[in-house]
Structure 1
Amino acid sequence: MEILPPDAEKIEVPGATVDFYKYTKDGITYYQFDTSRCGPPEPMVNAMSGLKLIDGPDKKLVMINHKKPMGLLDKIGQNFDIQDETLEDGRVKLIFSYREGASENANLNDAACHG
């Protein structure tokens, strides 16, 4: 399981169906959630809810999922910088970062899952 830092606090995120946590590291605020045990459309729904929090370069969204969410990446990949890594247990960790001039244009209200 992904270990949250000791200072992580549970937060309410409108529209989310899983727990979200907030913590700060090196001056960056991280919002993290885990949909690795969820089926569609929950990963998309929660990612879209979380991405609404990323409104500047000092905030990032961390998603833990059972696989790479291709429908989500196709939908918002051009609006955010995305790093991904495969965790030891096979789950995928994605880190979404603000992209100046592009993140503002993302349609984060369309949480329909098409992939």
Structure 2
Amino acid sequence: MSEFNKQAVEVPGATVPFFTYTMGETQYYEFDTSKCGPPEPMVNAMAGLKMVDSPNKKVVMINHKKPMGLLDKIGENYDIETEKMDDGRVKLIFSYRAGESEKADLSQNTCHG
């Protein structure tokens, strides 16, 4: 992936840097929790997902593994693409799902699993 016009963006509640960039009509919010332990991946995913309020906004999460606790919690509320990266990390792209994303409880940002 090219590093095109990524800019730091303030995301309330986040504990890692977030970056935003636009491809076509879609705005992306990206963060990397691959070096973080629980609950940071969940905390940052929930903070980022609050930005996804329309079909043209997506969250890109880079993590050391597939975050099953997170997916169990909000998997039905978003369309999620998973991609294994060359270095072994996992990239997840969360997309807005009309009528479902609004139902996600993004206040529950701890992992119980």
Which of the residues 56, 64, 67 maps onto 1:66? Answer: 64
- Superposition map of 1:83-98 within 5 A: 83-98=81-96
CA RMSD, 1 decimal: 0.9
**How far did 1:4 drift?**
5.7
| In 2: Cα distance, 1:38 partner to 1:92 partner | 13
| TM-score for both structures, normalised by structure 2 | 0.97
Q: Which runs of 4+ in 1 moved over 3 A?
A: none
TM (norm. structure 1) is 0.96
Tell me the secondary structure at the aligned position of residue 18 of structure 1: coil
Gaps of at least 5 residues in structure 1 are: none
Q: Does the 8 Å CA contact 1:22/1:32 hold for their aligned counterparts?
A: yes
Kindly report which structure 2 residues correspond to 1:95-114, keeping only aligned pairs within 5 A, or say none: 95-114=93-112
Flag the 1:59–1:73 CA change in 2: closer, same or farther, 3 A.
same
Letter of the 2:21 partner, please give it: Y
Answering whether residue 78 of structure 2 is matched by residue 51 of structure 1, we say no
How far apart are 1:6 and its partner, in Å? 2.8
Identity of aligned residues (%): 65
Number of aligned positions between the proteins:
113
Q: 1 CA distance for matches of 2:3 and 2:106?
A: 28
